[in-house]
Amino acid sequence: MNIGFVGLGIMGGSMAMNIRNGGHDMVVHDLRQEAATPLLEAGAQWADTPQQVAESSEVVFTSLPGPVEVEAVALGESGLLAGMSAGQAYFDLSTNSPTVVRRINQAFADKGVDMLDAPVSGGPAGARSGRLAIWVGGDRDVFERHLPALQAFSDKPFYVGPIGCGSVAKLVHNCTGYIVQTALAEVFTMGVKAGVEPLALWQAVRQGAQGRRGTFEGLAEHLLPGNFDPPDFALRLAHKDVDLAVAVGREYAVPMRLANLALQELTEAMVRGWADRDSRVAMLLQEERAGVEVRAPEDRLREILGE
């Protein structure tokens, strides 16, 4: 397959090299031609513009810093759209805005070109090793038709839904990570300032319920199926625990912004009369504010989890 690749930075360069090592013919472009040197030495061809990449490829990938750069490469002068024709496909691997993705998709669709958003997760090490998740939004048939190209640099390509859905999934994933990072900084500073040695604290908590399961696994137990009765851990007990943690923070003069926010949520849920329901029932408050239910069929959840 003739594959084009634009954006040969830390992530893009490694992904492109894995594609090339998979035996595909390649044409590449980057703002810095020296970034393409390893690929050119491996037999890839250089193009002076994204348009030339598109003119020489069956499918094109971009890996760029953000929405501004993607839009310029896709729609700008001498951009991809100028060189693409009906029947070709374009996958954007960047972390992008779903709104921008949908706008670009419309411009490509008007020309009969398939555009899919396909952000990746796995970091530089995953880009080098091929241990990458790819979350794809767009036409499912196009996704399946190009699986061999995706599998050349990813062990977990996954179809999420229509155009833009891949980008939304990536933003949910990354935003979760940084919220958790902020929370961990908060509670660990509290724990250490209250007298626990950092390594001992880390070793202790990673053996608990939160340490033993993935961040998203717990959603399958209560929120996604909508099961909050009978409780695994009652709301009133969770409220007590967070209240105690906040009290320790006050005692040792540790700011506990997120813990206080969590306590406020749990308190409001208690006022609703949910004290003896499962503690995750407090998540219904955010559903109410957002005006959406987060639900999935329980049998599908069990199937995915291998139960």
**Domain chopping of the chain, boundaries:** 2-169, 176-305
pLDDT score, position 138: 98
User: What CATH architecture is 176-305?
Assistant: Orthogonal Bundle (1.10)
| Secondary structure (DSSP) of 168-221 | HHHHHHHHHHHHHHHHHHHHHHHHHHTT--HHHHHHHHTTSHHHHS-TTGGGGT
Residue with tokens 């033993």: 212
Task: Read off the pTM.
Answer: 0.94
Return the bridge partners of 164, or none.
Answer: none
Class of domain 2-169 (CATH, top level): alpha beta
Catalytic (active site) residue 170: yes
- The predicted model gives 16-40 an average pLDDT of 97
Return the bridge partners of 117, or none.
Answer: 92, 137
pLDDT score, position 94: 98
C-alpha distance from residue 152 to each of 17, 84, 129, 131, 157 (Å): 10, 23, 11, 11, 10
11-20, 62-71, 227-236, 297-306: least confident range? 297-306
What's the rounded Cα separation, in Å, for the pair 281 and 283? Answer: 5
Tell how strand 59-62 and strand 89-92 pair up.
parallel
Q: Do domains 2-169 and 176-305 have the same CATH topology?
A: no
Structure tokens at 129: 């090793």
Smallest CA-to-CA distance from 283 within 247, 238, 249, 241 is with 238
pLDDT score, position 214: 85
What are the phi and psi torsion angles at 279 (to 5°)? -60, -25
Give me the torsion for CA of 103, 108, 114, 118, rounded to 10°: -40
* Spatial CB neighbours of 79, under 8 Å, sequence gap ≥ 6: 49, 50, 51, 72, 73
Task: Please give the share of the chain, as a percent, with pLDDT higher than 90.
Answer: 96
Catalytic residue among 111, 170, 193, 240: 170
Judged against a pLDDT cut of 80, whether residue 307 lies above it is answered with no
pLDDT in tens, 84-140: 999 999 999 999 999 999 999 999 999 999 999 999 999 999 999 999 999 999 999
pLDDT in tens, 252-305: 999 999 999 999 999 999 999 999 999 999 999 999 999 999 999 999 999 999
pLDDT in tens, 74-84: 999 999 999 99
pLDDT score, position 9: 97
Positive or negative: CA dihedral 87, 88, 91, 97: negative
